[in-house]
Structure 1
Amino acid sequence: MKVKICGMTRPKDVQICEDAGADFIGFINIKRSKRFVELERINELKHFMKNKDRAVLVMEPENAEEVLFALRKTGIKILQLHSLSPYEIKYLKWRDCFKISPLEKDLKIVRAVGISDKLSEDKKEEIKEFARVCDAIIFDYEVEGKSGGTGRQIPIETAVKASKIAKNIKKSIKTVLAGGMSTERIKGYEKILDKYFDYVDVNSGVEDAPGIKNPLKIKELFGIKGHLSIKY
């Protein structure tokens, strides 16, 4: 099970998280987020990483062209999208296939799917649709149609069902669990998480305040016995 730490706003937090063992480092470019960072600043923060291929750009774009603009600005090729339809994502993947621009080569697209306590039939279909076109799906708690940044936890049984649905559609799909993830929750469900998810996404669980990471909490997170690395 891999770990992504999201919501970076400061150079020292980028370095601390990467040195501690974070597999991926997330930068949020969504204005409604308390951890919003402009693209120019994200590009600066990325340069504090030893392995820039582990950077993840978190977006809620209005269209595919906005994604392409962000690619040119940051050079980050792992995209976590909290919007765009399966059709628009297929368009981005099509561009990737034809290598229209060197910056678009080898894109990885992670689509956020917001779920709450139970999975409706419509939500199950949504998971299936995105599993067919994406490289990974991140499950986060949904409030009023928005996913991410709520700090609320998806019931583990519901999250496992969602992961199974995605993997039944495409074996190669990677699944991610987010939403109020902390060291305590990972410890409590470590075996389940390791079995049904490829990585977890941690944000507020290692912070003192939005965008301000706590080195001791990060150290504790990576001290969990049984932390495994699986190729993305």
Structure 2
Amino acid sequence: MDRTLETTETSFDVIEAIQDLEGATLSELRDRMDLPKSTLYYHLNTLERRGYLIKERGEYNVGLKFLVHGQYARTRRPEFELARESTSRLANQLNENADFSVEEHGQLMVIHHVVGESAKHGFQLGQAENMPTTAAGKAILAEYPRSRVEEIVAEHGFEGTDRAPTSVGELLDRLETVRERGFAVNDEEWVEGLCAMSGAVTHPDGSVLGALSVMLPSFRFDEETMESYALPLRESIDRLEGRLESQYRSE
């Protein structure tokens, strides 16, 4: 296992605890983290002085400085901007939620999300999601070699509803269906009441950039809907991959 610095790990644990608690006092964090008061105070004071935490009326919360890093991460590659445009176009075309996700450290990260006119719920950008139980995750995994799929499952396991796969063998069968169908489906595997369709977006060299998805509530998800949404989804992916190829040719 790679070595890590314990003090850095603790600082990130503090940040994540504050976000989970939606703001916390020093005593609330002590109860949550079981750290000495002095140790916790030094971490809080350092993070506050660097601008990553704010303190209001005795309560600590996550600072807006993280937006600088998040925005940089979303725009550091020109391909991500092309993906943003494709996500917006697909959402407007189908009047549904659409997003673009990438794999990072074996988890699915949503970097662009657009809420369509008939959609009601949005997703939190940057939220890490389980790959084997999401449509975008399965779309990406279907492009990976079996060894990489097994590595991701070994590290992150399976999370989701009782419809989610529970073994590598079951997941591999579902990934084969993705390849045969041409897109991945999430039929309430990740969250009850939510379904999705997704397809992988690849670079000209065949490597995976991410996955473009459309999401809708389960009561509107059936075979007819899948058939009607499959073509717009495929066309959006083809258009994005065409723009990626043009971009690489011009470099």
Q: TM-score, normalised by structure 2?
A: 0.26
Higher relative contact order (CA 8 A, sep 6+): 1
Structure having the higher helix fraction is: 2
